[in-house]
């Protein structure tokens, strides 16, 4: 999301088009398996960790590029129950470039606080419509320039190539330019899971990403690309939310809601439907933002002035409400003493099952090994 409101986002017309287009189900081929992926990866349309356990992102966005002195927010976000933080970085076209040493520091903070880091370049926001916005190719060049900070971090880091990379102009180039950016990063030796944002300021009211997701996924030689839609005013009904997300899941294409809010200048998103649908489909969501929005969209801040003890109504909703972060987030198994290999202890005090899901034939999250109950990592019993 841009720091200021999006006057250029189509409102009523966009919502109507999204609703109509949501009824059209293009025929997409099933997503293939990752061929050379390591760490966090895509498997059969799901986001999983290196050990094969599902990883369902539950977290928020943090505006590091604009508030570089607020790195303490990462610990605060973890303390509220998140398992993921999406961090705003800058490639230098619109905002001061985030250096490799800064990136390394952020990754280390994520690891210290047992969070998965989704790192994104924000300078691409609204390209084609926003003056000075970076291209996806420029964003890929940025990632190559800070590769030293990311090498070996595939278990902990997802690279979100560029935020909302097209506005409502020129978005017909989204598929080709996204595929080219993916290939550039793979050619440079990146094995990380890559995340790609939808066009139309992230909301994909034109269904451009939805219709071409299979092509883009298969253009990745690692088959390790995750799709991200941002849900604001275009998604103001449960039907629109469900239609969009169900399409990806039914076609075995990995999808997360990379940004969303409870209100916006372009309409009133249905946050209840977004959170409940994500929970029922077991897909990730990342709310916008922890704190620091400009005054015109300040209602989207989850805490007041970066104060973790001062939740706003939106913060209370996303952390503590129905299908919220506190009740649905599960820490990544890579942080749980053996990463689900059977050598760690679950938060509820029981040992993890060495056999993973193979120890749990009825799917309730509990297994039986060595004459005692054990917890399947990432399953429904894996909680305090």
CA distances from 336 to 60, 154, 333, 343, 352 (A): 21, 17, 5, 9, 9
260: CB partners within 8 A, 6+ apart: 230, 231, 232, 235, 269, 271, 274, 285, 286, 287, 288
**CA distance from start to end of the chain:** 33
Bridge pairing between strands 46-48 and 41-43: antiparallel
Please, are residues 157 and 117 in contact by the beta-carbon 8 Å criterion?
Answer: yes
Rounded (5°) CA angle 224-87-83: 70
Catalytic residue list contains 120: no
Residue identified by tokens 């060495």 is 354
358: CB partners within 8 A, 6+ apart: none
Strand partners, 58: 285
Query: Which of 129, 164, 240, 271 does the annotation list as catalytic?
Result: 164
CA-to-CA distance for 380 and 384, rounded, in angstroms?
11
| Residue (of 333, 282, 329) closest to 50 by Cα position | 333
Angle of helix 271-281 relative to helix 313-320, nearest 10 degrees? Answer: 20
Query: Which of 49, 129, 240, 259 does the annotation list as catalytic?
Result: 259
Catalytic residue list contains 369: no
CA-to-CA distance for 46 and 65, rounded, in angstroms?
30
For the stretch 90-117, what's the b/e string if a residue is b when 16 or more beta carbons lie within 10 angstroms of its beta carbon?
bbbbbbebbeeebbeebbebbbebebbb
Residue identified by tokens 């099933």 is 30
Judged by phi (left if over 0) then psi (alpha if -120 to 50, else beta), residue 320 lies in: alpha
The set of catalytic residues is: 164, 259
């Amino acid at each position: 999301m841009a720091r200021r409101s999006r006057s250029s986002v189509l409102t009523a017309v966009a919502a109507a088009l999204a609703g109509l287009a949501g009824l059209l189900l293009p025929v997409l081929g099933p997503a293939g398996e990752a061929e050379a992926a390591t760490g966090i990866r895509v498997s059969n349309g799901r986001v999983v960790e290196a050990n094969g356990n599902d990883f369902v992102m539950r977290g928020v966005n943090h505006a590091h590029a604009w508030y570089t002195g607020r790195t303490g927010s990462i610990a605060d976000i973890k303390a509220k129950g998140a398992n993921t933080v999406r961090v705003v970085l800058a490639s230098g076209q619109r905002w001061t470039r985030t250096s490799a040493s800064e990136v390394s520091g952020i990754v280390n903070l994520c690891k210290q606080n047992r969070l998965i880091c989704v790192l994104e370049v924000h300078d691409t926001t609204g390209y084609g419509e926003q003056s000075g916005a970076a291209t996806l190719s420029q964003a890929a060049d940025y990632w190559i320039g800070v590769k030293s900070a990311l090498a070996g971090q595939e278990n902990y880091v997802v690279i979100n190539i560029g935020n909302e990379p097209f506005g409502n102009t020129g978005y017909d180039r989204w598929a080709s330019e996204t595929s080219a950016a993916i290939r550039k990063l793979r050619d440079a030796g990146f094995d990380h899971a890559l995340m790609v944002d939808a066009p139309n300021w992230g909301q994909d009211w034109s269904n451009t990403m939805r219709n071409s997701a299979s092509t883009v996924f298969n253009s990745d030689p690692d088959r390790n690309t995750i799709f991200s839609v941002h849900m604001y005013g275009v998604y103001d009904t449960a039907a629109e939310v469900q239609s969009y997300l169900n399409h990806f899941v039914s076609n075995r294409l990995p999808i997360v809601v990379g940004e969303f809010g409870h209100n916006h200048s372009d309409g009133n998103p249905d946050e209840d439907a977004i959170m409940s649908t994500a929970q029922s489909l077991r897909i990730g969501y990342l709310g916008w933002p922890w704190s620091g929005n400009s005054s015109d969209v300040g209602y989207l801040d989850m805490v007041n002035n970066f104060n973790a003890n001062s939740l706003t109504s939106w913060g209370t909703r996303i952390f503590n409400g129905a299908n919220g972060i506190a009740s649905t987030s599960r820490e990544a198994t890579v942080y749980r003493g053996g990463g689900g290999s059977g050598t760690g202890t679950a938060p509820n005090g029981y040992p993890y099952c060495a056999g993973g899901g193979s120890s749990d034939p009825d799917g309730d999250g509990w297994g039986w090994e060595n004459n005692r109950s054990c917890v399947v990592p990432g399953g429904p019993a894996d909680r305090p």
